[in-house]
Amino acid sequence: MSEITPDLVRHLAGLARILVTDEEVEKMTSQLSLIVDSVATVNKAVAGDIPATSHPIPMANVFREDVIEPSLSQAEALSGAPDSADGRFRVHAILDEE
């Protein structure tokens, strides 16, 4: 049985920086429980010493020469931002004042 509870869904949503309503929590708890029960079957498949695969066609140490190449200008990099000032991204307070 899965251990997905409403509190766990709220906690995970908080970690993922997604505000969730009570209604969403309720729906997601039941849906995620079913999904987690289903995907947990992977445990049955991997008895014994099996290496993990992270990439299907592994390529190690893909480097390039450390030379400067054309890139976005500051104005271009900022052009899609919801807010900017003085050539920087502008955001709300990082620390909570409460």
Partner 1 sequence: MSDLIRKNASELVELLNSKQVSSVEVTQAHIDRTNAVDADVHSYLHVSPESALATAAEIDRKRAAGEPLHPLAGLPIAVKDNLTTTDAPTTSGSKILEGWVPQYDATVVAKLRAAGMPILGKTNLDEFAMGSSTEFSAFGPSHNPWDLDRIPGGSGGGSSSAVASFQAPLAIGSDTGGSIRFPAAVTGTVGTKPTYGAVSRYGLIALASSLDQIGPVSRNVLDAALLQDVIAGYDKHDSTSLPESLGSMVEAAKKMDVKGLRIGVIKELTGAGFQPGVQARFNESLTLLQNAGAEIVEVSCPSFEYAIAAYYLILPAEASSNLAKFDSVRFGLRVTPEGNPTIERVMAATREAGFGPEVKRRIILGTYALSSGYYDAYYGSAQKVRTLIQRDFDAAFAKADVLVSPTAPTTAFKLGEKLEDPLAMYLNDIATIPANLAGIPGMSIPNGLAEEDGLPVGIQLLAPAREDARLYQVGAALEKMHEDVWGKRMIDFAPELEVK
What's the residue count for the chain?
A: 98
Q: How far apart are CA 58 and CA 52, in angstroms?
A: 12
Among the listed residues 88, 91, 92, 90, the one whose alpha carbon sits nearest the alpha carbon of residue 77: 88
Q: Which of 22, 66, 68, 82 binds partner 1 (CB under 8 A)?
A: 82
- 89: β partners: 84
Q: Is 34 in the site for partner 1 (CB under 8 A)?
A: yes
Cβ 18 to partner 1 shortest distance, Å: 5
- 84: β partners: 89
Q: Is 85 in the site for partner 1 (CB under 8 A)?
A: no
Give me the 40-69 binding string for partner 1, x by CB under 8 A, dash otherwise: xxxxxxx---xxxxxxxx-x--x-x-----
Give me the residue label for tokens 């931002």: 81
Contacts to partner 1 by CB under 8 A: 4, 8-9, 12-20, 24, 28, 31-32, 34-36, 38-46, 50-57, 59, 62, 64, 72, 76-77, 79-83, 89, 91-98
